Amino acid sequence: MTTPGSADSTAFVAAVRDAYATTGPAVQLGALVVDGTAHPDAPVQLPLSVLNRHGLVAGATGTGKTKTLQLVAEQLSAHGVPTFLTDVKGDLSGIALPGQASDRVTSRAADVGQQWAPEGCPTELLALGGIGTGVPVRATITSFGPSLLARVLDLSEVQSSSLALVFHWADRAGLPLLDLADLRAVISHLVSPEGKADLEGLGGLSKQTAGVLLRELLAFADGGADAFFGEPELDVHDLLRTVPATGGEQRGVVSCLELPAVQGRPALFSTFLLWLLAELFEELPEVGDLDKPELVFFFDEAHLLFAGASRDFVAQVAQTVRLVRSKGVGVVFVTQSPTDLPREVLAQLGSRVQHALRAFTPDDAKALRATASTYPKSDQYDTETLLTSVGTGEAVVTVLSENGVPTPVAWTRLRAPQSLMAPAPEAEQQRIVAASPLQAEYGTPVDRDSAYERLVRKTAAPPRADRVDRAGKAADHDDDARLPSGDSWDEPQRPSSPRAPTRRKAEPEERSVVEQVLGSSAFRSFARSAASSLGREITRSIFGVRRR
């Protein structure tokens, strides 16, 4: 599709070929299209070195966004770059299996000059809290923090402030908040006659606000969120894995988080993705600009994160996206329209793969004009018309070149993924999960001593006169029942508690006891919250997540 008086198409093909040329590794997106004809001699590609400048994949439902994710992820894996995908519709698990040849695939490959061969990727299948087939993914309440939890619960400003106060007190008191029962126990304690004095000097917590928080948390737990919060907590370094390939090179592992079972709770999974991003920022070292990223993070259904969000929340997201670049992490937002994203975030996305947009309503037409205005001016295409005309499996592309300069707008016919373009069979998914090294780490929940148990013991503890003293004088009570000293609770030996712990499976006998303990995910979760166990106040950084 050209406009009258446009530049000669041969010259335009040569200009695009030069603009998209790379000297380093790149993701091959497809071939340039001019006047409806694909030009394999003008490949449209995305340099790996600019992927930490972030990107956008957008388009109406059914235009091919999911297949684009699959295409990019499998090529990143081949280049040794790990990726994290969210599988909202349940059809990305096929990336683990070789694709199936068909006339349509063969025709597309020939059209764009692709040497197509079926090939799957090393894949981890994950599931929030084990709600689904994948390896369970969990986070502790302490790590998640008050800001993100308030976002999930849709709390008012006053309620959010009160929740932050509850976290602050628990952090200072050294009470680990591992699951929702811990948080409910702390809130109930702080409005009880025994707990009111604990907030002296910090501000109060009204019974009315506490009641709202408790009701919201109860409804949240009844909706299935209770399965997500707890231990073992996901270690984000497990998302940065590579595995040896046949030729001796490394292939990046694709971590695919299945979300169909929690589609009805979009605030939970979108906020969880933001927690993961904040964790990556906290955990990873500064690396600057690299030849290829350490991880590419695909943020699907991104509009859900910003629906109804406050200006402060949006500003924090924009800051996270800006800063995580220096950690070698590239973020690709996936949504229907670029206007779904705030301007502060959209301005940081260097590369765009825009599938077809629809303009059925005046609002759609306004969004179309706004989207077209953000693309570089093109003498070859009428961008606004082109955005509504590209076919399924085609996109309007502009990326940053290796020199950081935006490339010309290119109508691109995309390559066909080489992995299976359908969900993996259920039996195959179960096989992948059973063989995963992460299943041994995260498959069995651990219920460690935390705020709930300690507050129950405090309430049931005998008077101080009957306690064991520190000098070793005789007494009738076990040291496990110690009352708090100052602002913190000492870490006791694990007692029997109202919530019976679920024990993990025994490790192989050939490993020593020390290796078993140090290598277990339970120990890693414990080590992460050791500061709270020792009574040191937790410090929090971006989004209120725990600073390591």
User: What counts of helices (H) and strands (E) characterise the chain?
Assistant: 20, 14
Per-residue confidence (pLDDT) for residue 183, from 0 to 100: 96
As given in the structure block, the two tokens for residue 257 are 């988080």
Instruction: Report the distance separating Cα 151 and Cα 147, nearest Å.
Output: 6
- Residue 80 clears pLDDT 60, i.e. is over it: yes
Q: Please name the helix (run of DSSP H) or strand (run of DSSP E) that holds residue 34, with its range, or none.
A: strand 26-34
Instruction: Name the packing angle between helices 180-190 and 451-460 (round to 10°).
Output: 40
The distance in angstroms from the start CA to the end CA of the chain is: 53
DSSP states of 98-109 as a string? B----HHHHHHH
- Residue 172 clears pLDDT 60, i.e. is over it: yes
Per-residue confidence (pLDDT) for residue 471, from 0 to 100: 33
Instruction: Report the distance separating Cα 12 and Cα 463, nearest Å.
Output: 86
Lowest mean pLDDT among 235-249, 276-290, 456-470, 485-499: 485-499
Q: Render pLDDT for 510-524 as a digit per residue (tens, 0 to 9).
A: 444 444 444 555 545
CB count in 10 Å sphere of residue 508: 7
Per-residue confidence (pLDDT) for residue 160, from 0 to 100: 93
Residue with tokens 């910090």: 202
- Residue 503 clears pLDDT 70, i.e. is over it: no
- Residue 392 clears pLDDT 70, i.e. is over it: yes
Confidence of residue 201 (pLDDT cuts 50, 70, 90): low
Per-residue confidence (pLDDT) for residue 363, from 0 to 100: 86
Q: Render pLDDT for 393-404 as a digit per residue (tens, 0 to 9).
A: 999 999 999 999
CA of residue 442 relative to chain centroid, distance: 17
**Helices (DSSP H) in 191-310: which residue ranges?**
207-222, 266-283, 303-306
DSSP states of 136-190 as a string? EE-B-HHHH-HHHHHHHHT--HHHHHHHHHHHHHHHHHT----SHHHHHHHHHHH
Residue with tokens 């975030």: 345
- Residue 202 clears pLDDT 80, i.e. is over it: no
Per-residue confidence (pLDDT) for residue 193, from 0 to 100: 86
As given in the structure block, the two tokens for residue 66 are 């999911």
Q: Render pLDDT for 288-308 as a digit per residue (tens, 0 to 9).
A: 889 999 999 998 888 887 877
Q: Render pLDDT for 312-333 as a digit per residue (tens, 0 to 9).
A: 888 888 888 999 999 999 999 9
C-alpha dihedral over 155, 160, 166, 168, to 10 degrees?
150
Instruction: Report the distance separating Cα 349 and Cα 333, nearest Å.
Output: 9
% of the chain exceeding 70 in pLDDT: 82
Lowest mean pLDDT among 97-106, 154-163, 437-446, 532-541: 532-541
Q: Render pLDDT for 145-170 as a digit per residue (tens, 0 to 9).
A: 999 899 889 899 999 999 999 999 99
Per-residue confidence (pLDDT) for residue 310, from 0 to 100: 76
- Residue 125 clears pLDDT 80, i.e. is over it: yes
Q: Does the pTM exceed 0.85?
A: no
CA of residue 169 relative to chain centroid, distance: 28
Residue that wins the pLDDT comparison between 500 and 51: 51
Per-residue confidence (pLDDT) for residue 444, from 0 to 100: 92
Residue that wins the pLDDT comparison between 353 and 223: 353
Instruction: Report the distance separating Cα 390 and Cα 233, nearest Å.
Output: 43
Q: Which amino acid would we find at residue 81?
A: V
C-alpha dihedral over 220, 222, 227, 229, to 10 degrees?
30
Averaged confidence pLDDT in the chain: 83
Q: Render pLDDT for 359-373 as a digit per residue (tens, 0 to 9).
A: 888 888 988 998 888
Mean pLDDT confidence for 113-137: 94
Contact 385, 3 (CB under 8 A): no
Nearest residue to 260 (alpha-carbon basis) of 124, 423, 138: 423
Residue that wins the pLDDT comparison between 490 and 107: 107
Nearest residue to 330 (alpha-carbon basis) of 299, 365, 371: 299
Mean pLDDT confidence for 94-111: 96
The CA angle 379-382-383, to the nearest 5 degrees, is 105
Q: Please name the helix (run of DSSP H) or strand (run of DSSP E) that holds residue 127, with its range, or none.
A: strand 123-128
Longest dimension (CA), the chain: 99
Domains of the chain: 9-133+231-440 (3.40.50.300), 141-177+180-228+478-500+506-544 (no CATH)
Query: How many residues in the chain?
Result: 548
